[in-house]
Amino acid sequence: MPVANPVVTDLSEQELLARIFPLLPVGSRTLLPPGDDAAVVTAADGRYVVTCDVLVEDVHFRTSWSTGHDVGRRAAAQNLADVAAMGARPVALVVALVVPGATPVAWVEGLARGLGDACRPLDAGVVGGDLSSGPVLVVSVTAHGDLEGRPPVRRDGARAGDVVAHAGRRGWSAAGLELLLAGAPDVDPGLVAAHRVPDPPLEAGPAAARAGATSMLDVSDGLLRDATRLAHASGVTIDLDEPLDVLADDAARLAAAADVLGADVTTWLLTGGEDHGLLATFPPDVPLPDLFRRVGTVTQASSEPVRVAGGPPCVASTGWDHFRPRG
Amino acid sequence: MPVANPVVTDLSEQELLARIFPLLPVGSRTLLPPGDDAAVVTAADGRYVVTCDVLVEDVHFRTSWSTGHDVGRRAAAQNLADVAAMGARPVALVVALVVPGATPVAWVEGLARGLGDACRPLDAGVVGGDLSSGPVLVVSVTAHGDLEGRPPVRRDGARAGDVVAHAGRRGWSAAGLELLLAGAPDVDPGLVAAHRVPDPPLEAGPAAARAGATSMLDVSDGLLRDATRLAHASGVTIDLDEPLDVLADDAARLAAAADVLGADVTTWLLTGGEDHGLLATFPPDVPLPDLFRRVGTVTQASSEPVRVAGGPPCVASTGWDHFRPRG
Give the DSSP letter string of A194-218: HHHS----TTHHHHHHHHT-SEEEE
Is residue B321 scored above 60 in pLDDT?
Answer: no
Q: Which residues from chain A sit within 8 angstroms of residue B39, using beta carbons?
A: 49-51
Task: Give the number of other CB atoms < 10 A from CB of residue B241.
Answer: 17
Q: Which residues from chain B sit within 8 angstroms of residue A32, using beta carbons?
A: 152, 154
Bin A42: left if φ > 0, else alpha if -120 < ψ < 50, else beta: beta
Task: Give the number of other CB atoms < 10 A from CB of residue A96.
Answer: 27
Looking at chain A, the whole-number percentage of residues with pLDDT higher than 70 is 96
A-B contacts at Cβ under 8 angstroms: 238
pLDDT at B316: 58
Residues A85, B60: C-beta atoms closer than 8 Å: no
DSSP string, A63-107: TTT--HHHHHHHHHHHHHHHHHTTTPEEEEEEEEEEE-TTSBHHH
Task: Give the number of other CB atoms < 10 A from CB of residue B245.
Answer: 10
Name residues 161-190 of chain A within 8 A of B (Cβ).
none
Residue list for the binding site of A: 37, 51, 53, 60, 82, 129-130, 155, 218, 220-221, 274, 320
The H or E element that residue A222 is part of is none
Environment class of A285 (CB within 10 Å of its CB; exposed 0-12, middle 13-18, buried 19+): exposed
Residue type, position B131, single letter: L
The answer, for B15 touching chain A at a CB cutoff of 8 Å, is no
pLDDT at A215: 98
Average of per-residue pLDDT values in chain A = 94
Is residue A104 scored above 90 in pLDDT?
Answer: yes
Contacts of A94 (CB under 8 A, 6+ apart): A39, A126, A127, A128, A129, A141, A142, B50, B51, B52, B142
Is residue A251 scored above 80 in pLDDT?
Answer: yes
Tell me which of B140, B146, B147 to substitute to probe the interface with A (most A C-beta atoms closer than 10 Å). B140
CA closest to B143 among chain A residues: A38
The answer, for A228 touching chain B at a CB cutoff of 8 Å, is no
Q: In what order do the strands lie in the sheet with A292-300?
A: A215-219, A277-282, A163-167, A292-300, A236-240, A306-308
Is residue A322 scored above 90 in pLDDT?
Answer: no
Question: Could you read off the pLDDT of A149-174 as tens digits, one per residue?
Answer: 999 999 999 999 999 999 999 999 99
Question: Could you read off the pLDDT of B147-202 as tens digits, one per residue?
Answer: 999 999 999 999 999 999 999 999 999 999 999 999 999 999 999 999 999 999 99
- Partner-chain residue, chosen from B12, B155, B321, that has the shortest CB–CB distance to A36: B155
Phi, psi of A43 (to 5 degrees): -145, 70
Is residue A284 scored above 60 in pLDDT?
Answer: yes
pLDDT at A315: 74
Average of per-residue pLDDT values in chain B = 94
Tell me which of B7, B11, B20, B50 to substitute to probe the interface with A (most A C-beta atoms closer than 10 Å). B50
The answer, for B47 touching chain A at a CB cutoff of 8 Å, is yes
DSSP string, B148-203: TTSPP--SS---TTPEEEEES-SSHHHHHHHHHHTT-GGG-HHHHHHHHS----TT
Is residue A243 scored above 60 in pLDDT?
Answer: yes
Determine the average pLDDT of the residues in A252-262: 97
CATH superfamily of A8-146: PurM-like, N-terminal domain (3.30.1330.10)
Determine the average pLDDT of the residues in A80-105: 97
Is residue B326 scored above 90 in pLDDT?
Answer: no
For residue A125, the distance in angstroms to the closest alpha carbon of chain B comes to 12
**Beta carbons of A47 and A138 less than 8 angstroms apart:** no
Residue type, position B215, single letter: S
| Closest by Cα among A318, A56, A83, A116 to A208 | A83
In chain B, what are the domain boundaries? 8-146, 163-308
Alpha carbon B94 to its chain centroid, in Å, reads 16
Residues forming a β-bridge with B146:
B89
**CATH topology assigned to domain A163-308:** Phosphoribosyl-aminoimidazole Synthetase; Chain A, domain 2 (3.90.650)
Environment class of A324 (CB within 10 Å of its CB; exposed 0-12, middle 13-18, buried 19+): middle
Determine the average pLDDT of the residues in A113-135: 96
| Closest by Cα among A285, A204, A277, A274 to A246 | A277
**Beta carbons of A147 and B31 less than 8 angstroms apart:** no
Give the pLDDT band (50/70/90) at residue B318: low
Determine the average pLDDT of the residues in B293-321: 86
CA closest to B12 among chain A residues: A323
Determine the average pLDDT of the residues in B35-49: 96
Give the pLDDT band (50/70/90) at residue A321: low
Name residues 59-78 of chain B within 8 A of A (Cβ).
59-60
Tell me which of A19, A108, A127, A142 to substitute to probe the interface with B (most B C-beta atoms closer than 10 Å). A142
| Closest by Cα among A76, A145, A60 to A117 | A76
pLDDT at B327: 31
The span from the CA of B248 to the CA of A40, in Å, is: 36
Alpha carbon A96 to its chain centroid, in Å, reads 18
The answer, for B146 touching chain A at a CB cutoff of 8 Å, is no
Q: Which residues from chain B sit within 8 angstroms of residue A276, using beta carbons?
A: none
Torsion sign across C-alpha atoms A54, A58, A63, A66:
negative
**Beta carbons of B140 and B52 less than 8 angstroms apart:** yes
pLDDT at B304: 94
CA closest to B7 among chain A residues: A323
The span from the CA of B228 to the CA of B276, in Å, is: 16
Task: Give the number of other CB atoms < 10 A from CB of residue A136.
Answer: 19
Give the pLDDT band (50/70/90) at residue A326: very low
Q: Which residues from chain A sit within 8 angstroms of residue B140, using beta carbons?
A: 52, 54, 96, 130, 138, 140
Determine the average pLDDT of the residues in B36-59: 97
pLDDT at B148: 97
The answer, for B83 touching chain A at a CB cutoff of 8 Å, is yes
**Beta carbons of B286 and B161 less than 8 angstroms apart:** no
| Closest by Cα among B129, B87, B71, B209 to A38 | B87
Give the pLDDT band (50/70/90) at residue B60: very high
**Beta carbons of B293 and A71 less than 8 angstroms apart:** no
The ipTM, to two decimals, is: 0.92
Is B82 annotated in some ligand binding site?
A: yes
For residue A260, the distance in angstroms to the closest alpha carbon of chain B comes to 31
The span from the CA of A86 to the CA of B282, in Å, is: 43
Is residue A324 scored above 70 in pLDDT?
Answer: no
Determine the average pLDDT of the residues in A281-305: 97
Determine the average pLDDT of the residues in A107-123: 97
Residues A132, B59: C-beta atoms closer than 8 Å: yes
Is residue A249 scored above 60 in pLDDT?
Answer: yes
The span from the CA of A202 to the CA of A194, in Å, is: 15
Looking at chain A, the whole-number percentage of residues with pLDDT higher than 90 is 93
The answer, for A138 touching chain B at a CB cutoff of 8 Å, is yes
Looking at chain B, the whole-number percentage of residues with pLDDT higher than 70 is 96
The span from the CA of B145 to the CA of B88, in Å, is: 5
